[in-house]
Amino acid sequence: MAAEFLFYVFALLAVAGALGLILAKHPMNGAISLVMTMIALSGLYALLSAKLIFVLQLIVYAGAIMSLILFIIMFLNIRKEDLPEERGRWLYYLGGTVLLTPVALLLIRAVKTLPGVETTIVGGGFGGVKEVGLLLFSKWLLPFEIVSILLLVALVGAVVLAGHRRSDS
């Protein structure tokens, strides 16, 4: 009962944050809204017994990534007049919603076929650091390894794109 209640609270927060993100004119407001969504999501992760991901979501996502984004927004010192004029965007929201209705309906139809499993907390270390870690290093070794390459590429890429180098003429 409590879990259900919490779900609805978090869900509401998440949707509100998401809507805030796309509705807010200034990216700063949007970013804050997104942080709210992420925190709400982390709560939901917890409700889904994903202990490790719950933590990661808070630390990595809500913490690191969003901080970085906020930092850049502030670093660029975006003023109101730098923002694009988006006067007709309500039209886009409306059109987008119309377009997305069949997509959403299809997706929802798909998930509605699932058995009605209650989301009680699973015990026995489900989603714990150790269990997930073991899985990560055994069954999922390959993706784990190549993620390292991915990050390396991202690193190099960021440097190439944003770093100062002599070869720029």
Partner 1 sequence: MIADYLVLSIVLFCIGILGVVSRRNVFTVFMSIELMLNAANLAFLAFSRLHETMDGHVLAMMVMAVAAAEAALALAVVILLHKHKGNLDSNAFSLLKG
Partner 2 sequence: MENSVSYLVLIPLMPLIGAVVIGLLHMFTCRKGALPEKYYSFLALIGPVLSTLLAFKAFFHLGSMDEQARVLTQQAFTWISVGELHVSMGFLADPLSVLMLLFVTFIGTIIHVYSIGYMAGEENYGKFFSYLNLFLGSMLILVLADGPLVMFVGWEGVGLCSYLLISFYSKERDNVLAGNKAFIVNRVGDMGFILGLSLLFWAIGTDGFDYLSLRDNAHNLTPAVGLAVCLLLFVGATGKSAQIPLYVWLPDAMAGPTPVSALIHAATMVTAGVYMVARFSFIYVQFPAAGAVVAWVGILTALLAAIFGMFQKDIKKILAYSTISQLGYMFAAVGVAAYSAGIFHVFTHAFFKALLFLGAGSVIYALHHQQDIWKMGGLKSKMPITYWTMLIGCLALAGCPLFSGFFSKDEILYLALAAGHPGIWLVGVVVAAMTAYYTFRMFFLVFHGDARDEESFAHAQEPPRVMTVPLIVLAVGAALAGYLNLPGIFGGDMEVSHWLSPSLVEHHGEGGHSLELLAVAASIVAFAIGIFIAYKKFGDGAVEPEYSGFSSFAYNLFHVDRLYHALLVRPYKGLGVSIRKRLDPYGADLHVKLTVVLYRSLGRIFRFLQAGYVRVYAIYMVVGLSLISLFFSQTLN
Partner 3 sequence: MTDFLLLLPLLIVGAGAISLMLLAAFENVEKEIAGYGGMAVFLLAFVVQLAGLTAGDTYVFADIFNSMMVSNTFTQVVGLIITACGFFTCMSSTTYFRQNHFCKLEYYALTAFAACGMLLLTMAQELITAFIALEILSLAIYVLVGLHRTNVRATEALLKYLMLGAFAGGFYAMGGALIYGGANSTHFAVIGGVIAAGGFFDQPLLAVGSLLILIALLFKVAAFPFHAWVVDVYDGAALPVTGFMATALKAAVFAFFANFLMLDHGLQASWVEYLFWIAVFTMFAGNLIAIGQNSLKRMLAASGIVHSGYLLVALVAFTSRDFSDSVLLYYLAAYAVATLGMFCALSYLSGEGEKRQNFDDFKGLAKVRPYSAAAITVFLLSMAGLPPTVGFMGKLYIIINAIHAEQTMLAALAIVSSVVSMWYYLRLVITMYFYEAQDDFITESSPFAPLCTLILVVCVFAFALLPLGV
Find the binding residues for partner 1 in span 50-89 (CB under 8 A).
Answer: 50, 52-53, 56-57, 60-61, 64-65, 68-69, 72-73, 76, 78, 82-84, 86, 89
**Rule CB under 8 A: which of 76-95 touch partner 2?**
95
Binding residues for partner 3, rule CB under 8 A, total: 30
Please give the Cα distance from 62 to 58 (Å, whole number): 5
Question: How is residue 54 written in tokens?
Answer: 């719950």
**Shortest CB 119 distance to partner 1, Å:** 6
Q: CA dist 137 to 36, 48, 54, 126, 132, Å? A: 32, 22, 20, 16, 9
142 touches partner 3 (CB under 8 A): yes
Residue 102's binding partner, choosing from partner 2, partner 1, partner 3, none, with beta-carbon cut-off 5 to 8 A by kind? partner 2
Residues for the chain: how many in total? 169
166 touches partner 3 (CB under 8 A): yes
In the bound state with partner 2, the residue whose beta carbon lies nearer, of 110 and 117, is: 110
97 touches partner 1 (CB under 8 A): yes
Q: Going by C-beta distance under 8 Å and a sequence separation of 6 or more, which residues neighbour residue 136? A: 144
Q: Going by C-beta distance under 8 Å and a sequence separation of 6 or more, which residues neighbour residue 49? A: 121, 122, 126, 127
